Amino acid sequence: MRSKIVAGNWKMNKNNAETEVLLAELSAKLPDTNAEVMVAPTFVNLAAAVQNLDSSKIEVIAQNMHFAENGAYTGEISADMLLNIGIDTVIIGHSERRAYFGETDEILAKKVQAALAKNMRVMFCFGEELQDRKSDNHFKVVESQLKNALFSVDASAWKNIILAYEPVWAIGTGETASPEQAQEMHAFIRQTITKAYDTAIANNVSILYGGSVKPNNAVEIFSKPDVDGGLIGGASLVADDFIAIVKAI
Ligand SMILES: O=C[C@H](O)COP(=O)(O)O
């Protein structure tokens, strides 16, 4: 049985004091929910966030990690460093990492393997760009992103994978995929996983939608049968908006 998940990716926003304020607001106002609620502050605020939050209500997760164990990788963070401060879920493959930091499918495959080898949970992001959608190539692009970075993962490790479909044209643009477009793609993703693995794995993996999810569109998007929640950017920076989205699930 797959989980419902709402995760806030804070990206490069919120300094230390602002992080404290937002976390306190979330802790105070978060309603009881059956969904897993996660937030991903910046690296420098992760340890404090873990210490200050009730992990049974909100899980702190990381936005990225390096695939190497340790070594000469200036500016990078390893899986062990995250685990050491109590973080065991990491976002990998966000389109901003792909676009601005040159993360290829090959690099992402290494990151996925490295995180899973440490028993971390991976929230794997992928999605097509606008030109792919316009040229009707979006299913092929998504299929190849999954195949190249994920499908060498052992079947037994899929219990530690969460997927986040994020069409790049909908991220931070205010333009959302329609609930029907999201459902169509999520169903396609499940079919693709069924072909590569089996129906049980496909049915048990949570597939989140990300891209301009807001309080006013979350209910409709989350109502689709193959949409198991959302990865929220901009709206996760405002406590009331994020909470409204959590309530929508
Ligand atoms: O990681 C979150 C996604 O990039 C969505 O961001 P957004 O909600 O600001 O469009």
Could you report the per-residue pLDDT of 1-36, keeping only the tens digit for each? 899 999 999 999 999 999 999 999 999 999 999 999
Instruction: Give the domain CATH number at 72.
Output: 3.20.20.70
Report whether pLDDT(47) > 90.
yes
**Ligand 1 atom nearest 173 alpha carbon:** 10
Query: Domain for residue 98, yes or no?
Result: yes
At 54-72, the pLDDT tens digits run 888 999 999 999 999 999 9
Query: Domain for residue 48, yes or no?
Result: no
Query: Domain for residue 39, yes or no?
Result: no
The separation between CA 170 and the C-alpha centre of its own chain, rounded to angstroms, equals 15
At 214-229, the pLDDT tens digits run 999 999 999 999 999 9
Query: Domain for residue 169, yes or no?
Result: yes
At 143-201, the pLDDT tens digits run 999 999 999 999 999 999 999 999 999 888 877 889 999 999 999 999 999 999 999 99
The predicted structure's pLDDT at residue 175:
79
Query: Within 6 Å (CB) of ligand 1, which residues are found?
Result: 9, 94, 166, 171-172, 210-213, 231-235
**Cα-based distances in Å from 169 to 70, 101, 177:** 35, 18, 9
Catalytic residue among 36, 96, 143, 166: 166
Confidence of residue 92 (pLDDT cuts 50, 70, 90): very high
Task: Count up the domains in the chain and report the number.
Answer: 1
The predicted structure's pLDDT at residue 107:
98
The predicted structure's pLDDT at residue 103:
98
Query: Domain for residue 242, yes or no?
Result: no
Spell out a b/e string for 90-103, using b for 16 or more CB atoms within 10 Å of the CB, else e: bbbbbbbbbeeeeb
Query: Domain for residue 32, yes or no?
Result: no
The predicted structure's pLDDT at residue 54:
86
The predicted structure's pLDDT at residue 56:
86
Mean pLDDT of the chain: 96
The predicted structure's pLDDT at residue 61:
98
**Phi/psi at 209 (5° precision):** -105, 140
212 is an annotated ligand-binding site residue: yes
Nearest residue (by CA) to ligand 1, atom 8, is 233
The answer to whether 8 and 39 have CB atoms below 8 angstroms apart is yes
How far apart are the CA of 56 and the centre of ligand 1, in A? 24
Range of the structural domain that residue 112 is part of: 5-10+62-235
Q: Give the pLDDT mean for 114-124.
A: 98
The separation between CA 78 and the C-alpha centre of its own chain, rounded to angstroms, equals 18
Query: Domain for residue 23, yes or no?
Result: no
Query: Domain for residue 49, yes or no?
Result: no
How much is the ipTM here? 0.99
- At 97, list the tokens: 């990492």
